Each structure stands twice: as structure tokens, then as C-alpha cells.
């Protein structure tokens, strides 16, 4: 038996319910992605539905306990033997990439492969030279598809803007439908946001209950389409609204009189303290407050006077 199945339940983090891509079992061990993408699935439901479900970073991924073995290459200019194509497609769907559709003129499977390559490679955007759209028999993309820490493509949950909830973060993006589904990302990013929220709550909000929770927005679009700015396509970056002295947030710059530096500092430090969670790194924090830059916790980047940007580093592959 594959050893990743054996530790499957030990990595479950205790979430009561969550939204994620989930598959309907049509027979033992075989799953189809026929349910609506954001169906609520409880731990109990998922357990009973997927006897072979792999618990990956707190998320159930049916089928992952069986590594894919390819007889030849799949995708752009690949041999594309039917059974190989089927295996790769099902795995990508199980990981959440069935929603990817950033180029309507490109073959769907090729889009999913390219996107997965960009994500697992830690690239900020799709780049022709980095993602060739093909899964080779012994290549790195196949290793990532079989990795126990393969990146899932998932929505960030709501969080809570009420500090008393104890989560420490609020998914502001979800309250703004005009911006589309701009709250998708890797489970790596979601894990870091949740970790930072908890740290911020415990280390700062508990003693300063009138301060705002971390209001996050601008992750990546559900289907992987590129939006207005870079670093927000492959689910490895998130923006934070600036906290204000009156306990609200957003709509200001670091030069505004009502900007709350102490709270901004606590937010950035919370993210930085999560460096290393499940091997995930903090690649950079962009924010132009020169006081905080001098303190060494963020760096200057054009366009970052009115928000903080956190970019993460992908972890090393774990088979």
C-alpha cells in the first residue's frame, strides 16, 4: 500500500466543513467531478464518500493514494495514449484544476497542465518558457501530480470580520461580486492566510480587540484568467487592506493621518511568523511605508502605497 494513504487522516486539521472540488463516487475508488464545484462537504460526508480519500493539508482528495504511472507523455505534442490522458485529467480535476479555462482557444487539458506547471513551479504568471503543457513519463510535472503536497486549487473561505470569531482574517473579496471570483488560490496560500490570521488574533487582536482583522482581497481568479496586475494569477499572492485608527480598513495610503502603523506591522509580522508552515515560504512582502521598510519587514514596489502584498514560495516537493 502506498504510504501516503497511511498518514492520510493524520494531516486532517479539524475543519468542520469547507468548500472544495469534490467527486461523486460512481464505484469503489472511481470518482467523477460531476458535482457543483463549491458544494459544502463535511468531514463525515467526505470520509464516507471516499474510502480511499487522501487528506492533503486538511482537504480530502479522492484517488491521490494511487500514484499515476504513465506509459508515455500527455498534453501538447505528447503521445496522448487514452489511458494516460484519462489518468492525468482525473488527477488534475481531483486537485481542483477542472475549473481552469483561461484561453478558450486552447485544449482544456493542455490549459490545466500548463496552469498546474506554473503553480507547482512557483511561477507568478503563465509563461510559455516555463510551462510546456506536457506531462512526461518521468518528468517533474508528474512528480508534482503524485506529490503528497501537490498544490490544490481552492477558494479561500469567508473568514470573519468580527474579531471575536478568533479567525483573525476576513475574505473581503467575496463581498464584492463585481470583482468576480477573485478569491481562488493554492491551498498553500490558504494555509498561510489562516496561519497568519490565527497568529495575528492570538498575538495582537486578543490584546487590542478594537483593531480590525486582516482584510484580504485579490488572490487569483477561479478560472486562472489574468487580472489587472501581476502576481495574482497562480494562487501564490494576496493583498491586504491598510488598517485605520478607527478600527476599519482600506481606502487610505500609508501617508494618511488615519493609517494605523502598529496594526499594519502586526499583520505583516503575523504573515512572516508563518514562514515554514508545511514548508511554505514567504517570498516577499511589498508595502511602501518607509518606517516598516527600515525595520526590514517589507520592501518597496511600485503601486503599493495603499495595500500590502504578500507573495509566497512553494514548498519542496514531498513524494
Packing angle, helices 82-94 and 108-120, rounded to 10: 60
Paired strand residues for 114: none
Nearest residue to the partner Zn ion, using Cβ: 309
Sign for the CA dihedral angle at 48, 154, 252, 124 comes to positive
The torsion defined by the Cα of 303, 225, 213 and 10, in degrees rounded to 10, comes to -130
Q: How far is the CB of 237 from Zn ion (least distance, A)?
A: 5
| Closest to Zn ion by CB, 204 or 286 | 286
Contacts for 290 with CB less than 8 Å, ≥ 6 apart: none
| Closest to Zn ion by CB, 55 or 170 | 170
Query: C-alpha grid cell for residue 92?
Result: 488534475
| Closest to Zn ion by CB, 265 or 309 | 309
| Closest to Zn ion by CB, 131 or 239 | 239
Residues 54 and 208: their CA atoms lie apart, in Å, by: 39
Q: How far is the CB of 313 from Zn ion (least distance, A)?
A: 15
DSSP SS3 for 191: helix
Q: How far is the CB of 91 from Zn ion (least distance, A)?
A: 30
Q: How far is the CB of 229 from Zn ion (least distance, A)?
A: 6
Q: How far is the CB of 218 from Zn ion (least distance, A)?
A: 6
Query: C-alpha grid cell for residue 6?
Result: 497511511
Where along the sequence are the contacts to Zn ion (CB under 5 A)?
239, 309
| Closest to Zn ion by CB, 173 or 239 | 239
| Closest to Zn ion by CB, 53 or 236 | 236
Q: How far is the CB of 307 from Zn ion (least distance, A)?
A: 7
C-alpha distance from residue 224 to each of 75, 93, 105, 181 (Å): 18, 14, 14, 10
Residues 171 and 174: their CA atoms lie apart, in Å, by: 6
DSSP SS3 for 121: coil
Amino acid at each position: 500500500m502506498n504510504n501516503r494513504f497511511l498518514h492520510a487522516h493524520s494531516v486532517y486539521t479539524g475543519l468542520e466543513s469547507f468548500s472544495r472540488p469534490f467527486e461523486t463516487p460512481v464505484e469503489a475508488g472511481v470518482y467523477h467531478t460531476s458535482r457543483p464545484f463549491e458544494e459544502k462537504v463535511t468531514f463525515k460526508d467526505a470520509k464516507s464518500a471516499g474510502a480511499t480519500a487522501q487528506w492533503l493539508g486538511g482537504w480530502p482528495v479522492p484517488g491521490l493514494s494511487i500514484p499515476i504511472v504513465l506509459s508515455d507523455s500527455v498534453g501538447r505534442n505528447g503521445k496522448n495514449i487514452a489511458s494516460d490522458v484519462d489518468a492525468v485529467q482525473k488527477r488534475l480535476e481531483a486537485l481542483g484544476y477542472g475549473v481552469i479555462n483561461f484561453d478558450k482557444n486552447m485544449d482544456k487539458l493542455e490549459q490545466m497542465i500548463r496552469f498546474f506547471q506554473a503553480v507547482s513551479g512557483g511561477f507568478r504568471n503563465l509563461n510559455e518558457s516555463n510551462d510546456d503543457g506536457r506531462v512526461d513519463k518521468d518528468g517533474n510535472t508528474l512528480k508534482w501530480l503524485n506529490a503528497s503536497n501537490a498544490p490544490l486549487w481552492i477558494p479561500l473561505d469567508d473568514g470573519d470580520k468580527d474579531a471575536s470569531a478568533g479567525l483573525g482574517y476576513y475574505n473581503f473579496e467575496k463581498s464584492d461580486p463585481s470583482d468576480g471570483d477573485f478569491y481562488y488560490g493554492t491551498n498553500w496560500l490558504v494555509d498561510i492566510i489562516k496561519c497568519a490570521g490565527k497568529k495575528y488574533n492570538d498575538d495582537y487582536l486578543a490584546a487590542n480587540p478594537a483593531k480590525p482583522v486582516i482584510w484580504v482581497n485579490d488572490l487569483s481568479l477561479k478560472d486562472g484568467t489574468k487580472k489587472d496586475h501581476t502576481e495574482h494569477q497562480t494562487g501564490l499572492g494576496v493583498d491586504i487592506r491598510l488598517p485605520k485608527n478607527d478600527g476599519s480598513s482600506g481606502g487610505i495610503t500609508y501617508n494618511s493621518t488615519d493609517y494605523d502603523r502598529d496594526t499594519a506591522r502586526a499583520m505583516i509580522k503575523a504573515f512572516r511568523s508563518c514562514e515554514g508552515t508545511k514548508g511554505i515560504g514567504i517570498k516577499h512582502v511589498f508595502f511602501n511605508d518607509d518606517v516598516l521598510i527600515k525595520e526590514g519587514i517589507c520592501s518597496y514596489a511600485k503601486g503599493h502605497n495603499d495595500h500590502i502584498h504578500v507573495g509566497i514560495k512553494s514548498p519542496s516537493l514531498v513524494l
